[in-house]
Amino acid sequence: MLADLSCDKNLWFDPVCRAIDSHDPTRLAGPLAERLIGPLVVFIVLYLAGRVARRIVDGALRRTSADRQVQTLVHNVMTAITYLIAAMSAIVVAGVNIAVLLTVAGLGTVAIGLALQDILRNILAGIWLLLERPFHLGDNITVLDQSGVVQNITLRTTTLRTGDGRLSVLPNLTAFTNPVVNSSSFQLRQYAVTVREPADVNLEAALRDAREVLGSVPEISERPGPNVVPQLEGKTVLLKCTYWVDQTAHDPDAVSVEVARRLWPVGRAPQWPQKPEPA
């Protein structure tokens, strides 16, 4: 097979091949160099061109203040495309039949897809999450029974910091196929404190006092304003006090503690602040 190698005048580096061939009695060094130099040069040129294009795109994304995760996604995709184009072009220049190459690539893609379908599904879901942005870094979200603050979004997983300080790693497919509750989407969020009163309480006075307490807390929003709803539970009356807080400007937990402290004289046993169950 090596004996059949010879300089090809149709290739780019035929003059180099013939120059080497004239000093090589075996007549093999020239053709081998010709078939190696050509693909190598093509790969290097296309790789460098891809890097230049990638830097231009990265700079454009930084100037537009695009999300960091989107910048990472575009950077990684362009890197993969650069390597793919450079490698394919080098193989074609080396003389490999493109039809055979595409057939092998197609069969390999099918085999890899079947073997890694779960990983590929998570990657596709990750691309969707990075493009659609149903939540961002720092958002407080709930997916199934997992709740926490979003720490990172990669192509395969989303990581959350739970309320008790643990790290929860969610496959992106979980966030893609299940409802996601984003508690950070809006500035105002509703909270509730329930006050337990005896059955013989002066309900009108208790309602008035509870409304005055809620109105005296400066962090509580006036629009929508707080609300107090009485409910019967056995021999007691529950006053469900709901209010809205700008969670981007105030600490909701600190506000809840202050509300509970001020409501304490109104009833005999106020229950701890709690978030209302979603409708």
Query: In terms of domains, do 164 and 193 share one?
Result: no
Domain that holds residue 144: 133-182
Instruction: Give residue 49's identity as a one-letter amino acid code.
Output: A
Q: Is the pTM of this model over 0.85?
A: no
Residue 226 within any structural domain of the chain: yes
Helices (H), 135-251: 172-177, 203-216
- CA distance linking residue 26 with residue 6, whole number of Å: 11
pLDDT tens profile 249-262: 888 888 888 888 88
In a domain? residue 275: no
Residue 17 and residue 83 in one domain:
yes
Q: Is residue 128 part of a domain?
A: no
**Helices marked H in the chain:** 14-21, 29-63, 68-93, 98-115, 117-132, 172-177, 203-216, 252-263
How many other CB atoms sit within 10 Å of the CB of residue 172? 23
CATH number of the domain that 81 lies in?
A: 1.10.287
At residue 276, the pLDDT reads 56
- CA separation for the pair 31, 217 (Å, rounded): 86
Whether 39 is covered by a domain: the verdict is: yes
Q: Do 99 and 198 have their domain in common?
A: no
Domain end point (choices 63, 80, 115): 115
Same domain, 169 and 204: no
pLDDT of residue 167: 92
**Is residue 126 assigned to a domain?**
no
Do 178 and 194 share a domain, yes or no?
no
Last residue of a domain, one of 58, 84, 115: 115
Sign of the CA dihedral with 163 first, then 164, 169, and 171 last: negative
If pLDDT is split at 50, 70 and 90, which confidence band does 143 have? very high
Q: Output the six-digit token pair for 157.
A: 């997983």
The total number of structural domains that make up the chain: 3
Tens digit of pLDDT for each residue in 218-272?
888 888 889 888 888 877 888 888 999 998 888 888 888 888 888 877 755 444 4
14 burial class (0-12, 13-18, 19+ CB within 10 angstroms)? middle
Within a domain: 125: no
64-123 pLDDT, tens digit per residue, is: 766 676 777 788 888 888 988 888 888 877 776 667 767 777 777 777 666 667 777 888
User: In terms of domains, do 91 and 174 share one?
Assistant: no
Which of residues 5 and 99 earns the better pLDDT score? 99
pLDDT band at 17 (very low <50, low <70, confident <90, very high): low
Could you tell me if 107 and 142 lie in one domain? Answer: no
Flag whether 96 is in a domain.
yes
Residue 148 domain-assigned (yes or no): yes
CATH number of domain containing 177: 2.30.30.60
The mean per-residue pLDDT over the stretch 18-32 comes to 60
